[in-house]
Structure 1
């Protein structure tokens, strides 16, 4: 359950990052449209909210909430390191 929560948080943060013009342009080599940014933002928010449920189910309500915040921090750090040290994808 905890791994599922981490993966959902990672996907949610990555999706919310892609809703920003700079990160979307870095990966896809074109800016995101306003409609695509909004859809990505909502999808990321939904994934983040969904990632709370397995954490609370695995650890209980109070510890699950605190553990989920730790998982969010870990996922954000992983995405930060990936964005910093991975080379930009080649143009197609």
Structure 2
């Protein structure tokens, strides 16, 4: 059995998430995670084992103009598609 908890932006939690990310992707996510945590609509979850080990995490935020992927996608969409898909959406980042 595992637990899914809110991703709380405390130093020890950030360090644990960063360590797991580095083990998998061979680079840090700490700076980007801290930056993204300040974005409107930020939400995240961590998955903890019965042995209190971090198994995984996910996070995202509201997709807004002037954010990298929002602008990238918006440039490929018609105004009608933009209204349908990007005007009010949640961006799952990791």
Instruction: Tell me if TM exceeds 0.5.
Output: no
**Structure 2 length-normalised TM:** 0.28
Greater per-residue strand proportion: 2
Greater per-residue helix proportion: 1
The one of the two structures with greater contact order (alpha-carbon pairs below 8 A, sep at least 6) is 1
